[in-house]
Amino acid sequence: MYELKDRDKIIVFTGPDGSGRKSVAEAVGHTFGMDKVISFVTRNPRPGEVNGQDYHFITHEAYREMERQGEFLESVEISGHLYGIRSVDIENNLYQKGSVYLILNYEGASILKKIYGDKVIRLFLYADRRTVEERERNAGLTEDVITAHLNYYDLEMGNRTTCEHAFENYDLGQTTYEITNTLEAYLQRDLVDKD
Ligand SMILES: Nc1ncnc2c1ncn2[C@@H]1O[C@H](COP(=O)(O)OP(=O)(O)OP(=O)(O)O)[C@@H](O)[C@H]1O
Ligand SMILES: Nc1nc2c(ncn2[C@@H]2O[C@H](COP(=O)(O)O)[C@@H](O)[C@H]2O)c(=O)[nH]1
The CATH number of whichever domain residue 174 belongs to comes to: 3.40.50.300
Q: Give how many domains the chain has, as a whole number.
A: 1
* 125 inside domain: yes
Residue 44: inside a domain: no
CA–CA dist 21, 126 (Å, integer): 9
173 with 180: CB under 8 angstroms?
no
Rounded to the nearest whole angstrom, what is the distance from the C-alpha of residue 70 to the centroid of ligand 1? 33
Beta bridge partners of 81: 78
Ligand 2 pocket, mutate which of 21, 36, 39 (most atoms under 8 A from CB): 39
Is residue 62 assigned to a domain?
no
Is residue 71 a part of any domain in this protein? Answer: no
pLDDT score of 194: 53
Ligand in nearest proximity to the CA of 110: 2
Q: Is 98 contained in some domain?
A: yes
DSSP-derived secondary structure letter, 144: H
ipTM of the shown complex: 0.98
Confirm or reject: Cβ of 18 under 6 Å from ligand 2.
no
φ and ψ of 161, to 5 deg: -80, -10
Does residue 65 fall inside a structural domain? Answer: no
pLDDT in tens, 47-79: 999 999 999 999 999 999 999 999 999 999 999
Strand order in the sheet with 35-36: 35-36, 99-103, 9-14, 120-126, 165-168
Closest to 20 in 3D by CA, of 119, 139, 142? 139
Rounded to the nearest angstrom, the distance between the alpha carbon of 20 and the centre of ligand 1 is 3
> How far does residue 23's CA lie from ligand 2's centre (Å)?
15
Query: Which protein residue's CA is at the shortest distance from atom 3 of ligand 2?
Result: 104
**Backbone torsion region of residue 70, taken as left when φ is above 0, otherwise alpha when ψ lies between -120 and 50, otherwise beta:** left
Residue at 2 is within a domain: no
Low-confidence ranges of the chain (pLDDT < 70): 190-195
**Total-model pTM:** 0.96
Fill in the DSSP letter of residue 160: G
Domain range for 18: 9-37+88-186
Residue 147 lies in a domain: yes
124 CA from centroid of ligand 2 (Å): 14
